[in-house]
A = this chain, B = another copy of it.
């Protein structure tokens, strides 16, 4: 399998029309894999959904593995962009609360279906596809670092007590968010997500001066 850097280089060399076709393929694959899982989505399904020929799809993605990596990159952009501009400015308790409300609201609008578009790829890929696991880890690191930046800012400004550890709190908040989304998908109601985020935000608040 060609690695992700190679894939990204190839993407860079594409014409405008080529980029559009490639994007259409990735968006179609992401949609189907989100709905049916990776194993439940064949390359032929993606071809039909994206309305491209087999040779067109093969031109961009030599095998399903490459398509899966592109889907992880795509979903990471979608998930993180959807939380902007809130995610980049989680440096006050008000901002954390607004972000929390927005995340819960998305689940209500989705009728609590689908879970996290990144997190839901983990169980299928993490232990069987090393390149996918690396890419998923990188997705979560981006997410964690966005949260961490806000908490670190509060810490540096002296709004968070010196004994508060913004890095550990950011990771804990992401864990509560992921588990909350998973349980919300199972239960079809947002109470696990709300309980997880509210408890973690209250814990962060306990470090504020």
Residues of A within 8 A of B (CB): 35-37, 39-40, 113-115, 119-124, 126-128, 133, 136-137, 140, 168-169, 171-183, 185-188, 191-193, 195-196, 198-200, 202-203, 206
Min CB gap A112→B, angstroms: 9
Rounded to whole angstroms, the CA-CA distance of A137 and B121 in the bound complex is: 20
Describe A's contact surface by its main secondary structure. helix
Q: Which residue of B lies closest to A135 (CB)?
A: B186
Taking a contact as CB atoms under 8 Å apart, the answer to whether B192 and A199 are in contact is no
Query: Which residues of chain B come closer than 8 Å to A183, judged between CB atoms?
Result: 140, 171, 174-175, 178
Taking a contact as CB atoms under 8 Å apart, the answer to whether B199 and A172 are in contact is yes
> This chain: how many copies in the complex?
2
Contact of A193 among B39, B175, B180 (CB under 8 A): B175
Taking a contact as CB atoms under 8 Å apart, the answer to whether B126 and A185 are in contact is yes
A-B pairs with beta carbons under 8 Å apart, 27 shown: A37-B37, A39-B124, A40-B128, A114-B127, A119-B182, A120-B123, A122-B123, A122-B182, A122-B186, A123-B185, A133-B186, A169-B195, A171-B191, A171-B192, A171-B196, A172-B195, A174-B179, A175-B176, A175-B192, A175-B196, A176-B179, A177-B179, A178-B178, A178-B179, A179-B180, A199-B200, A206-B206
Query: Which residues of chain B come closer than 8 Å to A195, judged between CB atoms?
Result: 168-169, 171-172, 175
Min CB gap A119→B, angstroms: 6
Min CB gap A104→B, angstroms: 13
Query: Which residues of chain B come closer than 8 Å to A133, judged between CB atoms?
Result: 186, 188
Rounded to whole angstroms, the CA-CA distance of A188 and B136 in the bound complex is: 12
Taking a contact as CB atoms under 8 Å apart, the answer to whether B172 and A196 are in contact is yes
Which of A137, A182, A206 is the most central at the interface, judged by chain B CB atoms within 10 Å of its CB? A182
